[in-house]
Every structure is written in structure tokens, then in C-alpha cells.
Structure 1
């Protein structure tokens, strides 16, 4: 049996980034926060603070795709973001197809205020199920 690990997931968007955390024991995701910042420097400063607080061993980034599974403009942006996380913080990054995470949450008005972080939690749960 392998050692338990902490995993942090990101739902990347150009205006907001949802963040969630979980571990390999519970195999569930907990929405942490949505980061809305006007610049990439501040975004990575906030992420660095979360990484120091939670100490994840693994990072997961949602990979947006068209319904048919083909890439689009945000796919490349999310990949670049994940590669930047790996380069800046030296943690491994895994990718999870996030095609249906927003659709799952759209019908739940109680989650509207923290939709991006809730999406990150779903991405994390998909990673654990994967």
C-alpha cells in the first residue's frame, strides 16, 4: 500500500482559478477558494501561499475540451498554466478532462458563488476515480 498523498486541483480560467484540495485516503475534493486576480504574478503568489499551507505532493489541472473531445483555445491555456505550476514549484502535474464539471454544477444554485472552486473539487474527484 502506498503512502497517502495530498493533491491540489485547479480549474483554470483567464479571469478566475478555482482551487481544491484532497488526499488519497478520502479520495474526495474540498473546494478551497476561487482566485480572481488581474495579473499572473499575483495569481502565482496566492497559489504559492496555498501550496505552503497545504503541502501537496501532486497537482491536478482540469483540461477543458470540446464535447467531442477535441482541444480548443482554453485547452492550450490550461496546459500552459499546468506547465508553469510544474516549472515554478517543482511538483508533478496531472491532467483531468473537465468537459462536464461545469455542467454538473450549473443546476446547483447554492454553489454559484464558489463555482470555480467547486469545479476544482470535481476535477480532483475525477482524478481520484481515474
Structure 2
């Protein structure tokens, strides 16, 4: 089974999915947010399409570890999603994932217009890959 990762923003949701062995994360799409109901509907369809067994959602934290501004909105989204799906949903610290994604795209000399289109997807990849790497490290210790 696969694991799906999300970078939830105010305007978009970046989506990444693991490979079947749950070793690597691949960016899949960016959902343009419309309403909570429609966003949940789109996410639920992706969960079914990719046969996902777990969801990982980035939770924004400040550098001091306190929850960031979007955290309440993300927790509300998770609560709504839990009503619709019967798979575990975990959060991971997403500090600096968008900044890392942007830096990667800058280093690759991706144009500003193109960066805006893919940054959320790449942030979702970073969130999911961080989770996957931690699982491998847990299993090796």
C-alpha cells in the first residue's frame, strides 16, 4: 500500500504519493482549493485512485516549535477528512519544506511562473519523504 502526503496551503494542496515499497515520494498533483467539501472530495478520490493506506499532512510550526498560523485550519481539515476516510492520518513538522522546495527550484533555474505551479507539489514530496525516511530509520534502530 502507498502513503500520501499533503502540503495544505490557503490556495492549494500539494499532493505526493509513495512508491509501493514506501521508500520514495513522488509529486502527483496540486489541487486548487475551492471549498472544504470540494477539497475533501478531491482528496478522497485521490486516496481511492492511489490505494492509499495512510495520510501524512504537513503541520506548520514556528522555529521555536509552537504551531504556526495555518495549524488550526489544517487541524480542522484533518478532522473533516477523518469523517470521510477510514485510514490513519498523521501530521509531521513541515518547517521550511516550502523554503527547501523553492531553493531546489531556484538551483534548478526554474522560472518564477513554473515555480509557482510546482512548489506545493515539491513541498508535499519533502513532507512525505521526511516521514518515509524516519520510518526507515526507526526500523533500522
Q: What is the TM-score when the length of structure 2 is the normalising length?
A: 0.82
Cα 1:24/1:70, change in 2 over 3 Å: farther
> Residue 9 of structure 1 is aligned with which of 5, 8, 19?
5
Q: How far does residue 26 in structure 1 lie from its aligned partner after superposition?
A: 4.8
Which structure 1 segments of 5+ residues have no match? none
* Contact persistence 1:101–1:119 (CA under 8 A): yes
- Contact residue 85 and residue 91 of structure 1 kept, 8 A: no
What is the aligned residue count? 126
CA distance in 2, matches of 1:68, 1:85: 28
Separation in 2, partners of 1:40, 1:121: 22
User: Rg bigger for which structure?
Assistant: 2
Q: TM-score, normalised by structure 1?
A: 0.88
- How far 1:73 moved relative to its partner? 2.3
d(CA) in 1 for partners of 2:85 and 2:3?
14
In the alignment, is residue 47 of structure 1 matched against residue 43 of structure 2? yes
| Unaligned 5+ runs, structure 2 | 135-141
Which is worse superposed, 112-121 or 35-44? 35-44
- SS of 1:99's partner is coil
Q: Note the 1:1-130 alignment, pairs <5 A.
A: 5-23=1-19, 25-107=21-103, 108-109=105-106, 110=110, 112=115, 113-130=117-134
Deviation track 1:93-128 (CA, whole Å, cap 9, x = no partner) reads 111100011111112143612111111111000111
The SS at the match of 1:66 is coil
Deviates more, 1:120-129 or 1:67-76: 67-76
Taking only aligned residues, the RMSD between alpha carbons, in angstroms, comes to 1.6
Asked whether the 8 Å contact 2:15–2:124 carries over to 1, the reply is: yes
Q: Do the aligned partners of residues 128 and 24 (structure 1) sit closer, same or farther apart at CA in structure 2, a change above 3 Å counting?
A: farther
